[in-house]
Structure 1
Amino acid sequence: MQQTIQLDDVPLNRFHLKITGLTFSAHLTDGYVLGVIGFALAQIKPQMGLTPFWEGMLGSSALIGLFLGSLLLGWIGDIVGRQKIFCFSFVIITLASALQFFVTGPEQLFLLRVLIGFGLGGDFSVGHTMLAEFSPRKHRGVLLGAFSVLWTVGYVAASFAGHFISDLSPDAWRWLLASSAVPAVIILLLRIGTPESPRWLMRKGQQQQALAIIHRYFGEHVTLQPEPAHSKRHNLGVLFTARYRKRTAFNCLFFVCLVIPYFAIYTFLPAILQAMGLDKNFGTDLLLNGLLIVGAVMGIGLTAICSRRGFLIGSFVFLAACLVAMSLLTGSQSGWMIACFAAFTLMMSAVSNLVGVFPAESFPTEVRSMGVGFATSMSRLGSATGTLLLPLGIVHLGLSGTIAILAAILAIGAIVSLAWAPETKGLTLVDAGEAASPEAPQPSARTATLHH
Structure 2
Amino acid sequence: MSIRVIDEAPLNGFHRKLTWSCAGGPFLDGYLLSIIGVALVGMTGELHLTTADVSLIGAAALVGIFVGGLCGGAVTDKLGREAMYTLDLAVLVAVSLLSVFATEPWQFVVLRFVLGIAIGADYPIATSLLAEWVPNRHRGRLLGVLILAWYVGAAAAYVVGYVMAEIGGSGTWRWMLASGAVLSAVILLMRIGTPESPLWLVNKGRTADAQKAIKRALGRTVPIKELLAASAAEQAVERTRFRDLFQGTYLRRTLFCGLFYMCQITPMFALYTFGPAILGSFGLGEGNAGNLGSALISVVFVLGCIPALRLVDRVGRRPVIIWSFALMVVPLAVLGGGSALPIGVVIACFCLYALLSGGPTVLEWTYPNELFPTSIRATAGGVATSISRIGAAAGTFLLPISLSSLGIGATMLIGAGITLVGCLVSVAWAEETRGRTLAETSALPARSRRQSAPDAEGGASLRESDLERS
What TM-score does the superposition give when structure 1 sets the normalisation length? 0.92
Aligned residue number for residue 269 of structure 1 = 275
2:353 corresponds to which letter in structure 1? F
Between the aligned partners of 1:171 and 1:78, the Cα distance in structure 2 is 43
Aligned residue number for residue 344 of structure 1 = 353
Q: Is the 8 A contact 1:40 1:166 kept in 2?
A: no
| 1:305 and 2:304 matched | no
Which of 344-353 and 66-75 deviates more?
A: 344-353
Match runs of 1:14-413 below 5 Å: 14-166=13-165, 168=168, 171-220=171-220, 222=222, 225-226=230-231, 227-229=233-235, 230=237, 232=239, 234=241, 236-280=242-286, 281=289, 284-328=293-337, 331-413=340-422
Shift of 1:279: 3.8
2:209 corresponds to which letter in structure 1? Q
Cα gap change, 1:249 to 1:440, in 2 (>3 Å):
farther
Q: Is the 8 A contact 1:69 1:117 kept in 2?
A: yes
Shift of 1:246: 1.2
Deviations 1:228-260 (A, max 9, x none): 3445564x3221122411111111111111110
Between the aligned partners of 1:439 and 1:105, the Cα distance in structure 2 is 56
Q: Secondary structure at the residue paired with 1:388?
A: helix
Between the aligned partners of 1:165 and 1:125, the Cα distance in structure 2 is 33
Which of 302-311 and 323-332 deviates more?
A: 323-332
Aligned residue number for residue 6 of structure 2 = 7
Between the aligned partners of 1:268 and 1:291, the Cα distance in structure 2 is 17
Deviations 1:128-175 (A, max 9, x none): 000000010010000001123221221111112211223515641111
Q: Secondary structure at the residue paired with 2:248?
A: coil
Q: Is the 8 A contact 2:80 2:196 kept in 1?
A: yes
Q: As a proportion of its length, which structure holds more helix?
A: 2
Between the aligned partners of 1:183 and 1:423, the Cα distance in structure 2 is 36
Between the aligned partners of 2:341 and 2:425, the Cα distance in structure 1 is 36
Q: Is the 8 A contact 2:55 2:397 kept in 1?
A: yes
Cα gap change, 1:57 to 1:198, in 2 (>3 Å):
same
Aligned residues: 439
Between the aligned partners of 1:33 and 1:326, the Cα distance in structure 2 is 28
Q: Is the 8 A contact 1:5 1:221 kept in 2?
A: no
- Structure 2 residue runs without a partner (length 5+): 451-459, 464-470
Q: Secondary structure at the residue paired with 2:284?
A: coil
Between the aligned partners of 1:196 and 1:17, the Cα distance in structure 2 is 16
Cα gap change, 1:111 to 1:81, in 2 (>3 Å):
same
Cα gap change, 1:210 to 1:162, in 2 (>3 Å):
same
Q: Secondary structure at the residue paired with 1:265?
A: helix
Q: Is the 8 A contact 1:257 1:410 kept in 2?
A: yes
Aligned residue number for residue 448 of structure 1 = none
Cα gap change, 1:253 to 1:442, in 2 (>3 Å):
farther
Choose from 442, 446, 468 the match for 1:433.
Answer: 442
Cα gap change, 1:291 to 1:136, in 2 (>3 Å):
same
Deviations 1:9-50 (A, max 9, x none): 111111111111111101111111111111111111122222
Between the aligned partners of 1:335 and 1:220, the Cα distance in structure 2 is 56
Deviations 1:322-346 (A, max 9, x none): 2112113652433222222211111
Identity of aligned residues (%): 36
2:141 corresponds to which letter in structure 1? V
Q: Is the 8 A contact 1:23 1:127 kept in 2?
A: yes
Which of 34-43 and 342-351 deviates more?
A: 342-351
Cα gap change, 1:410 to 1:21, in 2 (>3 Å):
same
Between the aligned partners of 2:128 and 2:311, the Cα distance in structure 1 is 22
Runs of 4+ in 1 over 4 A off after TM superposition: 221-224, 230-234, 438-443
Aligned residue number for residue 468 of structure 2 = none
Aligned residue number for residue 446 of structure 1 = none
Shift of 1:351: 3.2
Q: Is the 8 A contact 1:24 1:150 kept in 2?
A: yes
Deviations 1:171-209 (A, max 9, x none): 411111121011111111221211111111101111111
Which of 188-197 and 221-230 deviates more?
A: 221-230
Shift of 1:118: 1.0
Between the aligned partners of 2:445 and 2:407, the Cα distance in structure 1 is 42
Q: Is the 8 A contact 2:334 2:349 kept in 1?
A: yes
Q: Is the 8 A contact 2:158 2:292 kept in 1?
A: no
Q: Is the 8 A contact 2:336 2:408 kept in 1?
A: yes
Cα gap change, 1:393 to 1:442, in 2 (>3 Å):
farther
Q: Is the 8 A contact 2:321 2:359 kept in 1?
A: no
Deviations 1:73-129 (A, max 9, x none): 110111111111111111111111111111010111111111111111111111100
Q: Is the 8 A contact 1:148 1:349 kept in 2?
A: no
What TM-score does the superposition give when structure 2 sets the normalisation length? 0.89
Q: Secondary structure at the residue paired with 2:16?
A: helix
Which of 13-22 and 144-153 deviates more?
A: 144-153
Q: Is the 8 A contact 1:64 1:384 kept in 2?
A: yes
Between the aligned partners of 2:91 and 2:210, the Cα distance in structure 1 is 28
- Structure 1 residue runs without a partner (length 5+): 444-450
Between the aligned partners of 2:417 and 2:44, the Cα distance in structure 1 is 31
CA RMSD of aligned residues (A): 2.2
Q: Is the 8 A contact 1:297 1:350 kept in 2?
A: no
